[in-house]
Amino acid sequence: MTVTHTDRAVLFRSLHSPARPLALANAWDVASARVIEAAGAPAIATTSAGISWSLGRPDGDTLTRERVVDLVGRIVAAVGVPVSADIEGGYAQDAAGVGDTVERVLAAGAVGINIEDGTRPPAELGARLTAARAAAERAGASLFLNARIDTYLFGLGDPATRLKDTLERARGYVDAGADGIFVPGVVDAATIAELAAGVAVPLNIMAVPGAPDVAALGALGVARVSLGAGVAQAAYAATRMAAQQLYDTGAYHALADAIPFPELNGFFSGPR
């Protein structure tokens, strides 16, 4: 049975539910995507930070769209589940360029994207969301458009009005075409509940130490939970631990929990 782009898009959209939140352990290359899929992931989402680091760049819109689109295509070809791509601010100078990026990401096989406002004026992300939606319509492709609001992550504005400002941004982004709203940087249960109540589309929260677990977030109204760059950071921490142990003491106990070579190699032994 052939699974089409539309099939994957419909499945991906259906996974957004507070009853059982979509849990995403974000990948940054083909190997991490295959490992995450094998662990039981119903979908794969990428992390721009992890991708940037793996390519020798800092996070923060320093990549070219060509490198990101190439990697997204490789991940889509390597896994059997839907893929959503983190495209940061859109890898373009203006809304028209964002539309071009979205067309290429869709052509690479992704069924969802994350796009963020960062420190840009909300109206600018609104224009980029409108361009992204128009690009998907031109391509005749279904797209889950997840708009990231960075008010909490970056500590933007007056803390006393941050919740109100975030909800205002969310309403504007939904009007511009967003299918979901992502608010990283929030761990307080009461604030998360207010966000969920005030956002008319699925709410995405980033899980970090100190945040409620997935089930508890679902009870608060969250439909999607992402680990963001956290898995990549943990992988690099394991790399540092193994290296420091080797060079400090000559030991290599840190390798005891490594994925066995045959298992990892088997992820790439034969066609999908």
| Overall pTM > 0.85 | yes
Tokens of 95: 């809304």
**pLDDT at residue 10 is higher than 70:** yes
**∠ CA(116), CA(229), CA(205), 5° rounding?**
60
Q: Is the pLDDT of residue 271 over 80?
A: no
pLDDT, tens only, 47-98: 999 999 999 999 999 999 999 999 999 999 999 999 999 999 999 999 999 9
pLDDT band at 269 (very low <50, low <70, confident <90, very high): confident
- β-pairing, 44-45 vs 83-86, is parallel
**Sequence letter at residue 255:** L
Q: pLDDT tens digits, residue range 95-122?
A: 999 999 999 999 999 999 999 999 999 9
User: Rounded distance, CA 129 to CA 18, Å?
Assistant: 24
- C-alpha span between 203 and 195 (Å, rounded): 8
Identify the pLDDT of residue 272. 60
Q: Tell me the two tokens of residue 78.
A: 């390597």
pLDDT of residue 270: 64
CA angle (86 as vertex; 81, 91 as ends), nearest 5: 135
Q: Tell me the percentage of the chain whose pLDDT exceeds 90.
A: 96
Asked if residues 171 and 179 have their Cβ atoms less than 8 Å apart, the reply is: no
Total residue count of the chain as it appears in this document: 272
